[in-house]
Each structure stands twice: as C-alpha cells, then as structure tokens.
Amino acid sequence: MIPEDAAKQWNLDGAIERISRGRINSTFLVGGTHVLQRINGDVFPNPPALMRNADKIASVAGELIVQHLPSKQGKPYWSDEAGGVWRMYPYVPSRNFDVLPHSLLTPVGAIFGDLLSRLTTLDRELETSIPGFHDIQLYLRSLDAVRTLGEADRELEYVDFRRKRLVDSKDDTQIIHGDCKVNNVLFDPSTDKAIKVVDLDTLRGISAI
C-alpha cells in the first residue's frame, strides 16, 4: 500500500516526502502540514492497542503530546487491504536532537517529568504494546542464561548489586514512557522551550521498583 492511498483517508493529497529518521515505523510528511505513519506490525503486534492507549491518555497529557487525527471515517487509524495500520498527526514545526546540548537538559527533564506526573492521574489501564518489553525479570533471566565467568565481570557486579534492591510492588504502578530518549522531545524552533513528547507507543503502567 502506497502512502498516497493512506493520505486520502484523511482527505489529504499534497506532496509526500519520506522522513528517514526513526528506525521502526514508516513515516511521511504530507503537504508540509501533516505527518503520516504506518505502524510496524512486526514490532507492534497489536497496532490498534497503541491507538487505544493514545486515546486513553489524550485528556490528561493534553498539549504535551501531538494528538492523532481521526480519519474521514472518524476512526483513530486506517487499515489497508494488506493489514497495515496507518495514523495521521498534524506537523509541528520544531527542533529535535540526537545529542542534547547541556543548555537543554533542564527543559527536557521538565517536560518528561510533567508528562509522567499527569499520567499518575489516569485511572485507566493501558494495553501491552510489545509483549515482555517492560518485564525487567525477563531481561535478567536472559542475562543469566548467557553469563560467562570472566567476561564483563564489573558490569555484571553492578547489575547484581542493583537487582538485590528491586522491590516488586504489584499494588503500586506508574505509567512510564518506555523510550525516554532526548530525540523523543520536540523543541520550539527558536527558543529553549520543550514543547512536545513524541513516540508514545511504549507507554505502559509498571509496578514500582
């Protein structure tokens, strides 16, 4: 399915340009005004769950995120004949960094903190985006299965030191971003203000540790 067909589901027919940044989903700029994205079903086995999660957090996250746009059928996404799931966002003029200047550490920390604070008020459970992605015990078991004495001893000592202090509190959960990287924050084009947190597909409520 070509992106032009998907864009028509939002009544858009402007020039389409592939956005190369991002390693998972296929992303396109439509007419310089909208961002079209095809969710990678190999990484996210249940794309509609991602969109339901986005709807759940929309009211509490507010202006801190880029809200997806309903298709002309009024749905939050569109599925093509091959089973691909597409979504649309307004384009936000902004700056983005892979390596963050020190002067922007405070605003990026503040916007992530603000988002997480707002998500504590959400009384709805989020669905799993990637099975096992947020399960720290799964990662630790995988590590233990490949341990070799003498290799990376110092690093393994640190892991063991930290794992003894893990506390699984099943009754106390916090929604986390799940991919809290500096390039998932958009900055105002001309100031140091952080304006949006993006890439919300790995949001999940986890037990406090």
What percent of the chain stands above pLDDT 70?
A: 93
- For residue 178, what pLDDT is reported? 85
pLDDT band, very low/low/confident/very high, at 169 (cuts 50, 70, 90): low
- For residue 153, what pLDDT is reported? 82
- For residue 167, what pLDDT is reported? 66
128 within 8 A of 204, measured Cβ to Cβ: yes
Residue 46 confidence (pLDDT) above 90 = yes
31: domain range?
A: 1-209
Task: Provide the CATH number for the domain around residue 70.
Answer: 3.30.200.20
Q: Read off the pTM.
A: 0.84
* Secondary structure class of 156 (helix, strand, coil): helix
Residue 196 confidence (pLDDT) above 90 = yes
- For residue 171, what pLDDT is reported? 62
> What is the rounded distance in angstroms from the CA atom of residue 181 to the CA atom of residue 107?
13
- For residue 132, what pLDDT is reported? 79
- For residue 176, what pLDDT is reported? 83
- For residue 92, what pLDDT is reported? 97
Residue with tokens 């299965």, as numbered in its chain: 145
pLDDT band, very low/low/confident/very high, at 207 (cuts 50, 70, 90): low
Residue with more model confidence, 67 or 174: 67
Tell me: the pLDDT tens digits for 104-163? 999 999 999 999 999 999 988 899 888 878 778 888 888 888 887 677 788 888 888 888
Question: How many domains are contained in the chain?
Answer: 1
- For residue 161, what pLDDT is reported? 87
> What is the rounded distance in angstroms from the CA atom of residue 11 to the CA atom of residue 149?
60
Residue 126 DSSP label: P
In the predicted model, what is the mean pLDDT of the chain? 89
